[in-house]
Amino acid sequence: MAPNYDKTREKGVDLLLRGLSTLPTSEKFADLQVTLGDRTWKVHKVIVCCRSDFFAKACEEGFKEEQEGIVELHDDDPDVIDKMFHYIYRNEYDDADTELGQVLLNVRMIAVAEKYFIDHLAHFATSKLNHHAANAWKTIDFADAIDEAYTTTADSDRVLRDTILDVVMEHAHDLFDAEQNECAQFQAMAARTPSFMSEVAARQAAALAPYHRSELYRCPNWHCPVVFRSPIKKSQWFSWRCPQCACNSLSGDYEWSQKFRLVLQPGAEKVD
């Protein structure tokens, strides 16, 4: 029987990651300097270039950054970039220690992951965003995060926008309820962000599309007044159950009247 090296391998990987995680604090063997305003990070080309296609391209032979050993960043939040490097070296980051709020921080982490082509960071930040947004969708932070996502990122940034839209659609009934004030900040943001509302409308139209192609039927139990709408057509087989009288059967037991769009029992007269 072949020996089991799994535990030994896992311990080795753990020691490797722990060793790498000490590099940013010691700056030992650092050979690349990243600047943003008055902030500076001394990092290691072999690490950041493996994790980010942006830095790999910047450090290619012949580029100014490769010759001078300096990469300048612009228009980013220094605290977010700091957490980005934390992720590059440690494969995680702390989103509790932030003045931004956890929802907005993770929105910005998704944005920098897309901007600097850092594999997996967008997915990691998305999982964190989903977790926090599930409880924060009524807050001002959530509205501010959507505002920033739709005003500062490209339309092609689908990872971020689709994540936000999934949360919004799940709670759309409450978020767009004009008779309550809990989500007033969200509604104000939506009113001034047409690109966001355009995508919400597209999602809602897609969700309602099956109902527009549906027809009206009635329960085949003539003592039951229930009328229902369904996209099911005459040629399809399915099983169903009336929510009121509990009548149930296979569609093969009934005739689907195309003229009156009613479900009829065999031999029953059509209702005009």
Per-residue model confidence as pLDDT tens digits over 94-135: 998 888 889 999 999 998 998 999 988 999 999 999 899 888
Q: Which residues are 227's β-sheet partners? A: 218
- Stronger pLDDT, 20 or 234, i.e. the higher one: 20
Cα angle vertex 149, ends 203, 164, to 5°? Answer: 40
Nearby residues of 115 by Cβ (< 8 Å), 6 or more positions away: 54
Separation of alpha carbons 245 and 226, rounded Å: 8
Nearby residues of 107 by Cβ (< 8 Å), 6 or more positions away: 129, 145, 148, 149, 160, 164
- Least confident range of 36-50, 125-139, 180-194, 249-263: 249-263
Same domain, 246 and 195: no
Same domain, 169 and 52: yes
Residue 82: is its pLDDT beyond 90?
yes
Number of domains in the chain: 2
Determine the structural domain holding residue 258 and report its residue range.
214-264
Same domain, 60 and 119: yes
Report whether 84 contacts 118 (CB < 8 A).
yes
Q: What is the token pair recorded at 83?
A: 């957490």
Residue that terminates a domain, selected from 169, 190, 209? 209
Q: What is the token pair recorded at 166?
A: 């999934």
The pTM for the full model equals: 0.68
pLDDT for res 262? 46
Indicate whether 272 belongs to any domain. no
Same domain, 87 and 184: yes
Indicate whether 4 belongs to any domain. no
Same domain, 50 and 182: yes
